[in-house]
Amino acid sequence: MTEFELIARLTEGAPREAADLPCGVGDDCAVVAGPHGRDWLVTVDAFAEGIHFMREWANFRSIGRKALAAAASDVAAMGGLPRFYLATIGLGPGDEEGAAGEIYSGMREAAHENGLVLVGGDTFRSPSGITMSLTVVGEAGHGEAILRSGAKAGDGVFVTGSLGGAAVGLASLRSGKRGGACGKFVERHLEPRPRVAEGRAIARSRLATAMIDSSDGLVADLCHIAEASSLGFEIEAGLVPFDPDLSAAAVELGIDFNDAVLAGGEDYELIFTVAGKSLPAFERTAKEIGAVRIGTMVGERERREVRGAGGEPLAVGPGGFDHFGRKGGS
């Protein structure tokens, strides 16, 4: 059973609708209608040692920093403004309180940078390893939050920043090669920056039809927009932006460049769609936030096409990028 099949099974039968709930389970955040023409955006993310982080690879400060940044990214993914957070932490059997203190100092950094105020949490002793759960509450104007489900056939697909860096950083950490071209990608993996300002600019333009953050990998996350919007897509691998040092680092690490860029997770860039007729009006915002167009949404739901540099189609499976039948991903 995939993670998404499990979520569908778990959430089945639960009360999931309310008059003041414009968007419940299934998007980056739930959207709850608030007073004074504002909506609340609510999200929770878990971070467990050995799954989401390894203490051998990162200090506790950067672990805390990344956890809150990743949680805040779900608010950015809807074009919202992060406001409040609650932090739950379970310390492992051998962990001193100092470890939690350092994790919280990293969270404080991310909180200051993203305008977040700590409003609560919970503390417990975990039987194995450090476990965290971070709830972030954001805010947006009523009806302003950009859902995954709003894309239409013919919309342009855009991404911010550059893709694949975090996956290369993870590969560096795994291989122990952290110097040279790999260094900055390690930092990209360990200390991501949620695209809050970019998300706000996209929301303010009122021209985006759907949006998500790239946490699972570009193609997998675009599949989430496609599924929620009942569409397919065509993108060109050659248009996907990447850091100029990425290919040298990929060669050094012996990893597949396309896998990193198309399927590598945790870049926390924004992937979004803009209606064909709005493209000229969106140009200025795209330039301002460094977003580029990489493809188009199409009406055929089963069409999930990634074209390679020579125009050849690369196969994509339902779980994400799967070139020539081999499962990609980091």
Q: Which residues bind Mg ion (CB under 5 A)?
A: 28, 74, 77, 213
8 binds ligand ADP (CB under 6 A): no
11 makes contact, choosing from Mg ion, ligand ADP, none, with CB < 5 to 8 Å by partner type, with ligand ADP
Q: Which stretch binds ligand ADP (CB under 6 A): 3-11, 178-186, 198-206, 248-256?
A: 3-11
7 binds ligand ADP (CB under 6 A): yes
26 makes contact, choosing from Mg ion, ligand ADP, none, with CB < 5 to 8 Å by partner type, with ligand ADP
* Amino acid sitting at position 34: G
Which one, 11 or 128, has the nearer CB to ligand ADP?
Answer: 11
Map residues 41-60 to x or -, x wherever contact with ligand ADP holds by CB under 6 A.
----x---------------
CA distance 264 to 133: 23
CA distance 147 to 187: 30
β-bridge partners, 82 = 138
Of residues 63-102, those binding ligand ADP (CB under 6 A): 74
10 makes contact, choosing from ligand ADP, Mg ion, none, with CB < 5 to 8 Å by partner type, with ligand ADP
45 makes contact, choosing from ligand ADP, Mg ion, none, with CB < 5 to 8 Å by partner type, with ligand ADP
Strands (E), 169-290: 208-213, 232-236, 270-274
25 binds ligand ADP (CB under 6 A): yes
Per the CB < 8 A criterion, the answer to whether 192 and 66 are in contact is yes
Size of the site for ligand ADP (CB under 6 A): 10
Taking Cα atoms as reference points, which of 314, 294, 148 lies closest to residue 218?
Answer: 294
Q: 107-141 burial by CB neighbour count: b if 16+ within 10 A, else e?
A: bbbbbebbebeeeebeeeebeebbbbbbbbbbbbb
286 burial class (0-12, 13-18, 19+ CB within 10 angstroms)?
A: buried
Question: Applying CB under 6 A, which residues contact ligand ADP?
Answer: 7, 10-11, 25-28, 45, 74, 215
